[in-house]
Amino acid sequence: MPESKSRKKKAVAKPAGDTPVAAKPEGNPRWLAPVMVGLMVLGLAWIVTFYLTSADLGLPIPQIGNWNLAIGFGLIIAGFGLTTRWR
């Protein structure tokens, strides 16, 4: 059965000025890489310092004992967490 002319819709052309412009992909913030690497290195240095001095001095913080390991690993995990923002 043929369709009537009243059912057909006319195509609407969009004006040329309304086309969306692709946004320029943003890069990394300048602080991201130094903070990321700094946290990982600081965490590693914290753990190494604890292991090398735990018998004699108990550094970096002698009062908290083995929680120094948690602090070191926490710093490393925070550094790896920042890697998720890397583009």
pTM for the whole structure? 0.68
User: Quick check: 18 pLDDT over 70?
Assistant: no
Dihedral angle computed from the Cα positions of residues 73, 76, 78 and 83, in that order, rounded to the nearest 10 degrees: -150
Tell me the HSE value of 4 on the side-chain side, using a 13 A CA sphere. 2
Residue with the larger pLDDT of the pair 79 and 57: 79
pLDDT at 49: 92
Burial class (CB in 10 A: 0-12, 13-18, 19+), 68: buried
- Euclidean distance between CA atoms 61 and 63, whole angstroms: 6
Q: What is the mean pLDDT of residues 78-84?
A: 96
Tokens representing 64? Answer: 């908290």
User: Quick check: 13 pLDDT over 80?
Assistant: no
pLDDT at 61: 85
For residue 58, the tally of other CB atoms under 10 A from its CB is 14
